[in-house]
Structure 1
Amino acid sequence: MSPGTARETVAACQHHYVRTGPGGHTAIITAAVITVLAAAAGCSGGDAQGDGGQATATWQLAPGQGLQDDATTFTALVTRLGCNNGVTGQVNDPLVEESDDTVTITFTVSPGASREAVTCQGNEEVSYDVQLPAPLAGRILVDGACASTEAGQTVMCEPDGTRSAA
């Protein structure tokens, strides 16, 4: 995407901070001063970072998967949360946390945030085969980034980061 105006640049750079409210109205959560700086900087440093040079990523269940109670594998489509010239990067092994009701999968990608200016046309989806430690057994799959990072405030996590109900 090649934004034609400063307003389009801000919208592209800030796409992961936009949330649709009641009645379909859109509100930009970031402060006006940050929006102006993002436009001037060309989205430099727009990536959300996790630990050790890793960046936050969200995921969706790949289409065509009918997960049953006995499922122990599934394919996730992982996307870097922050701006990175359309590149998600290397998907790291996910953190898998199990409870009686949920299986929470949290992804990060490498490398972390770029120190150079980046564009923010949206990053590619990278396929990743997830191996569960135990069968799904009626538990709900949840995107851990939606529950524990700034991703929870984005449209990628609406309404609550739930990815499937087995």
Structure 2
Amino acid sequence: MELFVLRNDKKLRKKDDMHGWVDYWCGYRNTDIFIELKHGYISERSGQIKKDVQNKWEEAQRQINTIKEEVNNYSLIGKNGAVRIALMAMPIFKTVNGEEDYNAGVNHDELIKIQENVVMQLNPAPNWSGMWILHDDLDNIMEFSNATEAYSGIIFAAYVE
């Protein structure tokens, strides 16, 4: 469930700017979990994060930091603790020139190297990461109006407080 919050951020000048939403609020056992979710893309060819991915990661970090005190005002199941998570989902893509440029199948070792590289580049460093490598049946090309792309996996990076 999405949750309305007042963000405690000295950089925000207007009171209206302090209003915001936590993307996901859920509970597990006796713990409330507040998640800020961001999304960016990683090129399989370069394996590098772009500035917009870094900016979104920093924004998620800032957002969970500005609700430290606010989360204590809410509870789904009790006051036994709250966890704040900045979560980034990053699909790994490769631009292809049609079927002839596309090699079906996923190189697991190469994707693991990309994941390690991406995690090392994010600042501040995530304290958890994982990756979903797509099954070969799901690894196919997607045709868009301006490009043809293949998606081989999704990297997840999180900072859990």
- State the structure with more CA Rg: 2
Q: TM-score, normalised by structure 1?
A: 0.27
Specify which structure has the higher proportion of strand: 2
What TM-score do the two structures reach when normalised by structure 2?
0.28
